Amino acid sequence: MAYSSKDADERSAGRLADALRRIYERHQPPVPWIDGTSLPWHEPGFNRRMLAQHLDQNHGAASRPEREIRAQVQQMTGWLGLASSQRLFDVTCGPGLYAYHFARAGLAVSGIDIGPASIDYARRLCAGLPCDFTLGDVRTMDFAKGQFDAAIYLYGQFTVLRPAESSDVLRRIHAALRPAARILLEVLDYERFDKLDDTWWYTQEGELWGDFPYLHLGERHWDPEQQAAIERFYILNLSNGELQTYGLSDQAYTGAQIAEMLAGAGFANVAAHPAWGGLALRDAEEWVVYVAEKVT
């Protein structure tokens, strides 16, 4: 059966009307972990587009600039007491940008990430270096016990999981570390955590949300009871009227809560380093770095 351009236009208009109705009838206010948990990092197309943003050195929306990463690696090496030939566990390693520099300094690095494009890139970037990368979910990872001298968990990835999941991930990291090994967490500073509601919109073609022209509608809600924020993104395809929806929750933690979670996973001697210890990063003031030692 042949369809005319008029038929196609009518179907597109019908989808557009349905999409707008779905946005209008959305649950309000959104609830963290219910109306959105995490972005689809595991989907090849989305992860490929996200990787392109990570590698773009012209903006600060994803990975840090190369010069900042080098400075962070040097800072972390001192905080973790790392020496050449030791083994480092890079949790949510992304495209291996940190693993590369640690390995160049003589460390053996193992990374895990849920993004297939990121893992492929990390393997290419670190080819010939003492690195290995696993495609997998940190919530179900099970590495051999006691094989790493330190672990890093960077860029606030710790906070995009439910608190119970984050506590379990800490226990899984603990099991992978040798006695007296250290863990390093980079967490958004509670005092600087965005606790305001917000909405925004823009139009775009390509980049993160899809290879088509779209209208992006976004909203953010702070839940004071859960001490968590949720962002919802509505991506309206302007070519055919189809709607894609995404949600991302983010948990705020005080320093005392982080110390309690680390203690519950078997870590102690927690040291907090606000603003990356004064390191010259464009966003240093937003972060607190916690370093703790495996004691049980």
Question: How do residues 164-211 score in pLDDT, each as one tens digit?
Answer: 999 999 999 999 999 999 999 999 999 999 999 999 999 999 888 999
Cβ neighbors of 209 (< 8 A, separation 6 or more) are 49, 216, 233, 235, 244
What is each CA distance from 67 to 52, 88, 146, 157, 204, in whole angstroms? Answer: 19, 21, 32, 21, 30
CA 263 to chain centre: 23
pLDDT tens digits for range 58-95: 766 668 999 999 999 999 999 999 999 999 999 999 99
To the nearest 10 degrees (0 to 180), the angle between helices 163-176 and 255-264 is 50
Cβ neighbors of 214 (< 8 A, separation 6 or more) are 203, 204, 205, 235, 236, 237, 238
The predicted pLDDT at position 60 comes to 62
User: What letter does residue 102 receive in the DSSP assignment?
Assistant: H
The predicted pLDDT at position 4 comes to 57
Taking 50 as the pLDDT cut, the residues of the chain under it are: 1, 3
The predicted pLDDT at position 75 comes to 98
Rounded (5°) CA angle 44-46-51: 90
Mean pLDDT of the chain: 93
Strands, E, within the chain: which ranges? 87-91, 108-113, 131-135, 148-153, 177-188, 198-205, 213-223, 228-237, 243-251, 267-274, 287-294
**Domains of the chain (ranges plus CATH)?**
5-42+194-251 (no CATH), 63-191+256-294 (3.40.50.150)
